[in-house]
Amino acid sequence: MLMLTDCSSCRTPLQLPSGASSVRCTVCRAVTPVALAPAPAPSPDNGLLSFGQTPSVSGRKRAVICGVSYKGTKFELNGSINDANCMKYLLVNTFKFPESSILMLTEEETDPKQIPTKQNIRTAMQWLVQGCQSGDSLVFYYSGHGSQQRDPTGDEVDGYDETLCPMDFKTKGMIIDDEINATIVKPIPHGVKLHAIIDACHSGTMLDLSFLCRMDRNGRYKWEDHNPPMGHFKGTNGGEVICFSGCDDHQSSADTTCLSKVTSTGAMTYAFIEAIEMGHAKTYGDILTSMRTTIRKIESGGAHSSLLGMLFTRGRHGGGWKQEPQLTASEPFDVFTKRFSL
Active site residues: 145, 201
- Residue (of 175, 111, 101) closest to 131 by Cα position: 101
CATH 3.40.50.12660 occupies which residues in the chain? 58-329
CATH architecture of 58-329: 3-Layer(aba) Sandwich (3.40)
Reported as a single tens digit per residue, the pLDDT across 96-113 is 999 999 999 999 999 999
Say how far apart CA 14 and CA 330 lie, in whole Å.
20
Residue 286, pLDDT above cutoff 60 = yes
Reported as a single tens digit per residue, the pLDDT across 199-253 is 998 786 899 999 999 999 888 999 999 887 776 788 999 999 999 998 866 655 6
Largest CA distance in the chain: 65
Q: Which pLDDT score, from 0 to 100, does residue 215 have?
A: 92
Residue 25, pLDDT above cutoff 80 = no
Q: Which pLDDT score, from 0 to 100, does residue 117 have?
A: 97
Q: How confident is the model at residue 18 (pLDDT cuts 50, 70, 90)?
A: low
Q: Is the pTM of this model over 0.75?
A: yes
Say how far apart CA 241 and CA 10 lie, in whole Å.
24
In this structure, how many other beta carbons lie within 10 angstroms of the beta carbon of residue 277? Answer: 11
What is the phi/psi pair of residue 7, to 5°? -60, 135
What is the average pLDDT value for the chain, to the nearest integer? 80
